[in-house]
Structure 1
Amino acid sequence: MHIRVLGSAAGGGFPQWNCNCSNCAAVRQGDPALTARTQSSIAVSRNGQDWLLVNASPDILAQVRAMPELQPARALRDSGIVAVLLMDAQIDHVTGLLMLRERRTALPLYATPQVLDELNTSLPLVRVLSHYAGVEAHLLSLTEPDFAVPGLEDIRFTVIPLSSNAPPFSPRRDAPLPGDNIGVVIEDIQSGQRLLYAPGLGRMEPAVAQAMATADVVLVDGTCWRNDEMQALGLSDKTAADMGHLAQSGPGGMIEVLAALPKRTRKILIHINNTNPILRSDSPERAALTAAGIEVAWDGMAITLGSSNG
């Protein structure tokens, strides 16, 4: 089973277009300790040719250009993207759907009823796409969480509800319902190896802890180093928790959570905000992660689990 990180940054990417924080300024100036990143998304395949996108970033066109496998050229008009799975309705996870509008057939789209409701009302992308090839909606259930995606045989997907927040444009902002945010366990059925993908994780709960404990790889929320990071820089009045993200440092933070996992577990942070000091490869914060056995995802990062064909 192949997993590819298409984008590793949080909303706005890195550098963010209008941000002059020390990280964004330095990466524009070519600081070798920093690497530009697109907004977070991953792709999953069994055979290396047919791929499921997990979230559709606004940067999808650049991500496709950077990954030739997503454009295998088997026909005059062709794509390796067989379907899209959405973790939430956040702008940085769904607006790439608009860039996939030229398909000849409806795009299979896997999402919870809450997310599809947002994409039909508050942010009506499904309605807009109906004027093109449209989408073929597949509803995800929290009560029957296992599902399969045609074209990705021998891979099992399992929905995990997450405590985070609904998008700012949602009527459920600051009062999210189960299903507004999910993670997914991706399992290679033949080997039994599993990856947990949870880019928006605001609070640890038993289902998440269980999924982490049984995963071979956890690819999880790395948005902020400190809970008050954005406030301390004068960039926002909201904490990481307010935005639906569990900070890395401090009691109960992501570092502490990941430290409790089995030593065999590979631990990787994704969805990294432009303000986060872990973006610098030479920062004390990055050194602390390395000492804790935690990696920082990067655009193009490849992960292989179990036996893969292709």
Structure 2
Amino acid sequence: MSFPPNQVTAVILGIMQDGGLPHIGCRCDRCAAAYEAPRQTEYAACLALVDTRQTPPLVYLIDATPDIKFQLDLLADVLGMHPQRPYRLRQPDGIFLTHGHMGHTAGLAQLGPEAMAVEGLRIFAASDLNNLLLATPLWSPLVERLQLTPLIPGQALDLAPDLQITAVPVPHRDEWGAGTATFVIQGPNRRLLYLPDIDNWDDWPNAAKILASVDVALVDASFYSADELGGRPPVAHPLVPDTIERFAHLPTQLVLTHINHTNPILDEDSAAWTAVHASGVQIAYTGQQFLL
């Protein structure tokens, strides 16, 4: 994957809910097709920031997904080779974690001594999430190789000249009291919001104000309809039609991500896909780039 020179670019490395596509153990038509034809595989939701103004380019991930080894490979051209380890990619400059759920942290396991064996990799997360990593013996061999950096909600963090990132708390199921964040990224020219998970728009009073303040908003599109749950109890995610009704009128470029494998917007011949595009809202795709 190539990137424009002397630019800050946000790039989508995955669009799916935590389990990806195909979903483990699922034999719905969509997942069965992906098992039969791996080219139809889609990775769990992930965003990267690439700053080619620097040498070597700065590379940051948002979330460490179960598909991290494939997602880092998509960035091979800008990561380059490790300076001391032949045939190994250079590690990214850091990883930001939105929250502690599986699809956003499971990739950390690939960074430990059994796999990538990173050294001093910076992990940016809420203090409570960092403390949870420190307190979990399973993570001990990995944590020794990381620099856990606490994020202060609402406080911008400078990554490079004219490149800042700010964590903003959002409501999302929180089994461990570690919280969930969305990230607002301010580049030299444009602002982007990355919000893969939220429970309910009504529970976040600042939603419309914050979405209107950015140029691009990548938002939770887990489900299109409650019918996708097949009789299971309701899951706390906003439905796509509600998101469109609330925000499609904004001047912001609205892009749907974190899509569950059951969601019909994945099918270009579905009424749901047609309705989304008719509204002017976009459906994210792996490799999609946004100049900041």
TM range (shorter): 0.7 to 0.9
* Whole-Å separation in 2 of the counterparts to 1:214 and 1:161: 16
Matched, 1:3 2:17: no
**How far did residue 229 of structure 1 move?**
2.2
Alignment of 1:297-308 (within 5 A): 297-305=284-292
**Structure 1 portions without partners, runs of 5+:** 173-178, 306-310
**How far did residue 270 of structure 1 move?**
0.7
2:157 corresponds to which letter in structure 1?
F
**How far did residue 126 of structure 1 move?**
4.4
**How far did residue 184 of structure 1 move?**
0.5
**Which residue is 2:244 aligned to?**
255
**Which residue is 1:106 aligned to?**
120
Matched, 1:138 2:138: no
* Whole-Å separation in 2 of the counterparts to 1:68 and 1:112: 28
**Structure 2 portions without partners, runs of 5+:** 1-7
Matched, 1:39 2:40: no
**SS at 1:184's partner residue?**
strand
**How far did residue 153 of structure 1 move?**
3.2
Q: How many residues align?
A: 274
**SS at 1:57's partner residue?**
coil
Change (3 A) 1:59 1:104: closer
* Whole-Å separation in 2 of the counterparts to 1:208 and 1:276: 23
C-alpha root-mean-square deviation of aligned residues, in Å?
A: 2.2
* Whole-Å separation in 2 of the counterparts to 1:246 and 1:92: 18
Are the counterparts in 1 of residues 248 and 279 from structure 2 also a CA contact under 8 Å? Answer: yes
2:42 corresponds to which letter in structure 1?
R
Change (3 A) 1:296 1:74: same
* Whole-Å separation in 2 of the counterparts to 1:90 and 1:226: 22
* Whole-Å separation in 1 of the counterparts to 2:138 and 2:96: 15
1:129 corresponds to which letter in structure 2?
L
Flag as ranges the 4+ runs of structure 1 deviating above 6 A: none
* % same residue: 28
**How far did residue 70 of structure 1 move?**
5.0
Between 1 and 2, higher relative CO (CA 8 Å, sep ≥ 6) is seen in: 1
Q: Deviations over 1:175-231 (max 9, x none)?
A: xxxx6111010011x32x10000000122223332220011000010111113421x
1:184 corresponds to which letter in structure 2?
F
Q: Deviations over 1:100-156 (max 9, x none)?
A: 2344531111101222233234x556423135xx211111112x421123xx33211
1:25 corresponds to which letter in structure 2?
A
